[in-house]
Structure 1
Amino acid sequence: MKRRGRFAPTPSGLLHIGNAFAALASWLQMRHYGGEFVLRIEDIDKPRSRPAFAEQCLKDLRWLGLDWDEGPDTGGSHAPYAQSKREAYYEEAIDKLIELNLLYPCYCSRSELASIASAPHGLSSEGAPYPGLCRSLSSEERERKAMKKAPALRFKMPRGEACFMDGITGKQCFSGEGLGDFVVKRADGMFSYQLAVTVDDAMMGITDVLRGSDLLDSTPRQLALYEALALNAPDFAHIPLIGDEDNPRLSKRDKSITLTSLHNAGIAPERIVGLLAYLAGWIDRPEPVKADELVASYHTDCLSSGNLVFTSELRAWLFDGASQ
């Protein structure tokens, strides 16, 4: 079976070089192994998503030298490629999970959830682990609470240890209790990232998910959904984030490192690709290079040792190429 990977940005802002690194790495993985690359727009969060950002994303990726076999502007056999047009599929998944008794209504207020978040505990990409306050409510209690508040729907995360083999960082284990029961549909009717991405990757035949390490603890949640829905799970690999000397993750507030701003500053896309290739260990010094020139040399050998540092020296090198 041909391998299939994807890049799935959220159009809530402009792509920056951290996003570009995830896109480039996933694209190179598929091109290196002769696979297919899919572009999907994850605009399920409609209040935060903007069509203009989605359009600019496509322009920025093509300017960087990336292409895709299926996507919102090229079509394909797994259309549509925007989550805002796929809600019927997510509703079907919700119905199946309800039939399996794997969901329960959660009536917790924002203040109750805020008090959970302020308590001492480990945090994850989903925030504080939900302690299951509404998991065992009686039918009478649910009826009484439903008169006051529309519920969210939470998935009953299996208890015990959840392990998987990451393609870059090796075996990863998480506690089901530490992850907590997570929302799959909000009280306002919005479907969650965890549910939508699982359904989409399965329906689109994605075999390889390569993404940032900030989503590492999303993987056991998604694997639990794959198992519950009897879907084939892809292989997961998580690349390090790009940070600077002061922060482990580049700030979205730094507008100077968006692809659009770099383009407008006259920096060639080959210079950005060369910077990312150097950070990833695909070339031994920063120098301009085209994306397709890296296909043969793609590997993940240097990506398991922690976050990558976009030093002031590298920033100077990048901006030295402006308007040349």
Structure 2
Amino acid sequence: MAGGAISGGIRRTRFAPSPTGPLHLGHAFAALTAARLADPGQFLLRIEDIDRSRCRPEWEQAIHDDLHWLGLSWPQPVMRQSERLPAYAAALERLAAMGLLYPCRCRRADISAALSAPQEGAPGPDGPVYPGTCRGRAMEDAGAGDAIRLDVARGFALLGLDRIGFLDEAVQPGQRHELTAADFIAGIGDVVLARRGMGTSYHLSVVVDDAAQGITLVTRGKDLFDSTYIHALLQALLELPQPLYHHHRLIRDDSGKRLAKRDDARAIAQYRAQGVLAADIIAMVFGGG
């Protein structure tokens, strides 16, 4: 299923968890939302396991067990990002050939020191905005310990665009969400496309994989809304189809904090062990249905 979005108006979605801990109620809501919004047979599972230092086989098996318990099914085989490094390398090679990449040797402490001025370094969807310390380095000088960054300003210039955007069916449907090149550069900056020891990053892999799987509707939490501008830019640079987006609400604890994998008390497996029914979980996260 390589290349391009599927045709005919089919709504194909995916749930793409990382096997780094137990799935919790937030994951249940995300997976069920994706499945509900997909056409029959068009809900996919993808395992995002590029961070091999944190991923565990037992957590990957738990993902399958929890989702099946919730009543979900998906086509086989399941895409696993750890098996797709050549696809990410090809995308990086294409961007490098366009003169859009540079190696970065800066560590977090270096970036923090460079961003000591109070008007700089406001956190963006990829962390503190990178000050461009290594922007003049050539890819030929890249070392094994370097990250690879996208020269965002050059990317916009190459495309001849002064803004980038996308459509979201959940957040102001029918209105194109756009970010100017100037605001992108100032508020997001030169994002990392290949992290040290991984050969890729979330931003690059998710864009390449969504296109490869023909995903037409990307469903995910509102906490990733600003990241979608990064993905829209990469889709334009790599000439990949842009899906429609659906950024849904987040499931929070009683204090209003977004659930994380360390919230074991909210883990699906814990509810299962306590005899809670899948229908109860569904009612819980959807407020009765």
Out of 43, 52, 61, which is 2:49 matched to?
43
Letter in 2 for 1:17: L
Residue 12 of structure 2 contacts residue 216 of structure 2 at CA under 8 Å; is this kept in 1? yes
Residue 150 of structure 1 contacts residue 187 of structure 1 at CA under 8 Å; is this kept in 2? yes
Gaps of 5+ in 1: 279-285, 290-324
Residue 15 of structure 2 corresponds to which residue in structure 1? 7
Cα separation, partners in 2 of 1:116 and 1:264, compared to 1, 3 Å = farther
* SS in structure 1 of the partner of residue 21 of structure 2: coil
Quick one: distance in 1 between partners of 2:149 and 2:88? 14
Residue 18 of structure 1 contacts residue 242 of structure 1 at CA under 8 Å; is this kept in 2? yes
Residue deviations 1:241-274 (CA, integer Å, cap 9, x gap) = 1113423312433211100010001101100001
Residue deviations 1:44-69 (CA, integer Å, cap 9, x gap) = 1110111110111011001011111x
Answering whether residue 271 of structure 2 is matched by residue 262 of structure 1, we say yes
* SS in structure 2 of the partner of residue 40 of structure 1: strand
Answering whether residue 154 of structure 2 is matched by residue 156 of structure 1, we say no
* SS in structure 1 of the partner of residue 67 of structure 2: helix
The two structures, once aligned, show a CA RMSD in angstroms of: 2.3
Greater alpha carbon shift after TM alignment, 106-115 vs 85-94: 106-115
> Equivalences for 1:148-227 in 2 at 5 Å?
150-158=145-153, 161-170=163-172, 171-174=176-179, 175-177=183-185, 178-227=187-236
Residue 243 of structure 1 corresponds to which residue in structure 2? 252
Residue 34 of structure 2 corresponds to which residue in structure 1? 26
Cα separation, partners in 2 of 1:118 and 1:172, compared to 1, 3 Å = farther
Residue 132 of structure 1 corresponds to which residue in structure 2? 132
The Cα of 1:3 is off from its aligned counterpart by: 2.1
* SS in structure 2 of the partner of residue 13 of structure 1: coil
Residue 66 of structure 1 corresponds to which residue in structure 2? 72
Residue 83 of structure 1 corresponds to which residue in structure 2? 81
Residue 5 of structure 1 contacts residue 35 of structure 1 at CA under 8 Å; is this kept in 2? no
* SS in structure 1 of the partner of residue 124 of structure 2: coil
Number of matched pairs: 265
Cα separation, partners in 2 of 1:248 and 1:272, compared to 1, 3 Å = same
Quick one: distance in 1 between partners of 2:86 and 2:43? 24
Quick one: distance in 2 between partners of 1:197 and 1:95? 17
Out of 88, 93, 96, which is 1:95 matched to?
93
Residue deviations 1:155-198 (CA, integer Å, cap 9, x gap) = 12246543322221124344211111111112324310111111
Residue 104 of structure 1 contacts residue 135 of structure 1 at CA under 8 Å; is this kept in 2? yes
> Equivalences for 1:224-303 in 2 at 5 Å?
224-278=233-287, 286=288
Identity over aligned residues, as a percent?
A: 38
Residue deviations 1:17-75 (CA, integer Å, cap 9, x gap) = 001101000100014xx46111000001110111110111011001011111x2xxx22
The Cα of 1:132 is off from its aligned counterpart by: 1.7
Letter in 2 for 1:172: H
* SS in structure 2 of the partner of residue 238 of structure 1: strand
> Equivalences for 1:101-120 in 2 at 5 Å?
101-115=99-113, 120=118
Letter in 1 for 2:218: V
Letter in 1 for 2:65: K
Residue 18 of structure 2 contacts residue 49 of structure 2 at CA under 8 Å; is this kept in 1? yes
Letter in 2 for 1:108: C
Residue 303 of structure 1 corresponds to which residue in structure 2? none
Cα separation, partners in 2 of 1:168 and 1:271, compared to 1, 3 Å = same
Find the structure with the greater CA-based Rg.
1
Quick one: distance in 2 between partners of 1:6 and 1:67? 11
Residue 241 of structure 1 contacts residue 248 of structure 1 at CA under 8 Å; is this kept in 2? no
Quick one: distance in 1 between partners of 2:132 and 2:201? 18
Out of 24, 43, 48, which is 1:16 matched to?
24
Letter in 1 for 2:92: I
The higher-RCO structure (CA 8 Å, 6+ apart) is 2
Gaps of 5+ in 2: 1-7, 157-161
Normalised to the residue count of structure 1, the TM-score between the two structures is: 0.76
Quick one: distance in 1 between partners of 2:15 and 2:281? 18
Residue 3 of structure 2 corresponds to which residue in structure 1? none
Quick one: distance in 1 between partners of 2:20 and 2:61? 12
Letter in 2 for 1:151: D
The Cα of 1:117 is off from its aligned counterpart by: 6.7
Letter in 1 for 2:12: R
* SS in structure 1 of the partner of residue 60 of structure 2: helix
Quick one: distance in 2 between partners of 1:207 and 1:184? 23
